Every structure is written in C-alpha cells, then in structure tokens.
Structure 1
Amino acid sequence: MELLTPRLLLREFKEDDWHFTNLYEADLKVMRFQTQEVRDFKGSQEYIQQCIAEAKEEPRTLFDLAIVLRSTDMLIGKVGMKVDYDAEEAALWYILNRTYWNKGYGTEAAQELLKFGFEELHLHRVWADCDPRNIGSYRIMEKLGMRREAHFRENIFIKGEWCDSLVYAILDHEWQHKIIPS
C-alpha cells in the first residue's frame, strides 16, 4: 500500500526501517505523551516486524504506515489507523521525528490517511486522542477539521502519572464538506 501527497510517500514499513524509527522512538521529547516507553534498537526492530505481520492480516484492521519525504527518501515518522469495520470507524495516530515538527508533515500525512479511510474504506467516523499538554497534536486534529468531543480528566495512567485525554473526531459527511488550508 502506498499513498502519495505533494511532499510525502506513505508506505508499508520495511525490515530495515527500524534504524529511522528508532531516531524518534528513542527521543524522550517525542515519546513524552505516547503510551509506550522509549524504545531501544531491539524494541524498534520488533515493532517494525509486528507492523509487517499485521499488514498481511485479512481483513486488514491496522494501517501503520511510514511517512517518507519524497524529496530525500528519508523516513520521518509514522501515521496509522486501527479500523473497526463493525462500527465503521477508526482511531487515527501520527508521530514524527522532532526535526520535522512544525512543517505541516503530520497534518499532510494524517489528511491523506483520512482521505483513504473515508473514500476507500467507507468509514463513517475517524477519531483521535491526545494529552491536552500535547498542543501540536491537537492542533493537527483541528487542522484536519476534527472537532473536540471530550476532555476526560485523569482517565489514563501513563509513565507514572494520571493524565487527561482530549478526544477529537470527524464524520464522513463533515470530511466531504471541509476545506483544509495549505
């Protein structure tokens, strides 16, 4: 599976991608608001192997794709969706190497995956969540046209503390009528 945007290629992970994913998976600032801990080399290798195996499952419910800069062929992050076909919805996520923050890559990648979800998988709803302190993450959701549905207080225990969660979502008919600024 490959999806193209003006600046990005979203593709399946390859065995040797762990070298690049570990650049952000081992970064404490990048991983601060993620549920998983920082990963060592072995953890990154195992995660890539898991992604490759899950991509072969039928029906496919997990779409975890590498974000690659088309201009340099550099893997800079990942974007994904976990699909629940019975509910006609999916959970969306994204994570970028810190070097590539604030350049619009996260929004561009997530926008293309939303398009795939609504136009190819015919989903009714896509949602995402984040820690309210993760301003960059919820700004991406807002740029995607997602609306805030909830602010849960101390609903998840992550890395030794109780954390809040913001939940954003967009429906298929909202997606059809939205315009995302460049």
Structure 2
Amino acid sequence: MHNGILKTERLNLRPISEQDVENIHKLHSLPETDEFNTLGIPKDIAETKTIAEKWISENNLENNKSYTFTVELIEEKEFIGLMGINLGKEKYKNAEVWFKFDFAFWNKGFATESLRKIIDFGFETLQLHRIEAGCAIENIGSISVLEKVGMLREAHTRQLLPLKSGWSDNYGYAILSTDLRK
C-alpha cells in the first residue's frame, strides 16, 4: 500500500478526499445506485459533503476503524465508485465491506476486482479473521460480486433494510482468513 493507495490491474483504490465530493454526490444521486441502498438520495451537495468529511476524518485517524476508498480507472483517472471496510471490535478481528458503483460501470468486473483487493488488505494488512458483507436479496449484481470473490451466504435476515421500495430482506455473507479466496 503506497500513500494509502491500493492498486489492482485496472484500478486505484485511494482514500477519498475533498476533490471527490462532487463525484460522490453524483453517484449517490443515481436512482440505479439508490435502489438497493439505505442511504437515500441526498437532498443537496451539502449533505454529501457532510458524509464525505466524516469519511475523510475517519480515514485520517491514527487508530483507523473505517476506511473509505474512491475507486478510479488507472488509465482514464475516472471516478467509478466507492468501496469501504469498517472494522468491528478489536477482539473479534472482523470487518464489514461495502461498495457502490456508477451503473455505467456495472458488469465489467470492477466491483469484483476492487473487493478482492479490499479482502486481501483486510486479511493481510489489517490481520482480520473474518470479513462480512450484506445486501438486499434482490440485489443480483452485488450477490454475484460477493460470491465471485469466495464469500459464503450465511444468513437471511427478514425485513432489515429500509429501501425506497419498502422493507427488504438481507443476505449476510462472510469469508474467513482461512477460507479459499477466489
């Protein structure tokens, strides 16, 4: 990890910065991205700025428990999404991963590529034991990404997510440091 940047073949995952606020706002405002998301569409850029500033200050804590990355195409230097990993209690050595991508970049393997990198970062750099993720049961795209990297579905939680369409059930996924990564 160089300057906090994680690199894959096609992508840079770098800690988000002030310069990303406009792109994050655009991403959060997309109805396609909002469909399975509990955040809701921001009412204005000030709301997005507040969220981003919280992420930035967490990224900069010495004892960081919450990493939020901008995902950008290396060649085009283009913002395509966000990826985060939030650590649980130290003793549990666990964390939850999440991601959001602009729908223009779906089905190109970018989320899978980023998630693999974040999982490696979690197990190798952060020395975690268990990494979890959750998604709405109708979120076919995210389910596919989680399964492609080797995460296993462990839970089906009823009506957990307050989505725009109503209460949604949630699938809980996890991968252990001892599991096979794909």
Give the TM-score band, short-chain normalised: over 0.9
Deviation at 1:154, TM superposition (A): 1.6
Instruction: Judge conservation of contact 1:21–1:76 (CA < 8 Å) in 2.
Output: no
> Which of residues 122, 142, 154 is equivalent to 1:137?
142
Query: Could you say which residue in structure 2 is the equivalent of 1:61?
Result: 65
Q: Secondary structure in 2 aligned to 1:80? A: strand
RMSD of Structure 2 on Structure 1 (CA): 1.2
Query: Could you say which residue in structure 1 is the equivalent of 2:117?
Result: 112
Q: Deviations over 1:36-78 (max 9, x none)?
A: 1112322222222111111122310001110011011111101
What is the one-letter code of the residue matched to 1:123?
L
What pairs with 1:24-173 in structure 2 (closer than 5 Å)?
Answer: 24-39=27-42, 40-84=44-88, 85-159=90-164, 161-173=166-178
> Which of residues 3, 16, 30 is equivalent to 2:19?
16
Distance in 2 between residues matched to 1:155 and 1:55, nearest whole Å: 28
Q: TM-score under structure 1 normalisation?
A: 0.93
Q: Secondary structure in 2 aligned to 1:130? A: strand
Report % sequence identity. 32
Distance in 1 between residues matched to 2:11 and 2:160, nearest whole Å: 35
Distance in 2 between residues matched to 1:57 and 1:137, nearest whole Å: 29
What is the one-letter code of the residue matched to 1:37?
G
Q: TM-score under structure 2 normalisation?
A: 0.93
Distance in 2 between residues matched to 1:109 and 1:11, nearest whole Å: 11
Distance in 1 between residues matched to 2:165 and 2:10, nearest whole Å: 38
Distance in 1 between residues matched to 2:146 and 2:165, nearest whole Å: 26
Q: Secondary structure in 2 aligned to 1:138? A: helix
Instruction: Judge conservation of contact 1:9–1:70 (CA < 8 Å) in 2.
Output: yes
Q: Deviations over 1:93-112 (max 9, x none)?
A: 00001110110000111110
Q: Secondary structure in 2 aligned to 1:145? A: coil
Distance in 2 between residues matched to 1:155 and 1:10, nearest whole Å: 29
Q: Which moved more, 1:159-168 or 1:22-31?
A: 159-168
Q: Secondary structure in 2 aligned to 1:86? A: helix
What is the one-letter code of the residue matched to 1:151?
H
**1:160/1:7 Cα in 2 relative to 1: closer, same or farther (>3 Å)?**
closer
Distance in 2 between residues matched to 1:87 and 1:58, nearest whole Å: 20
- Between the two proteins, the alignment pairs up a number of residues equal to 177
Deviation at 1:119, TM superposition (A): 0.5
Q: Secondary structure in 1 aligned to 2:178? A: helix
Show structure 2 runs of 5+ residues with no match.
Answer: none
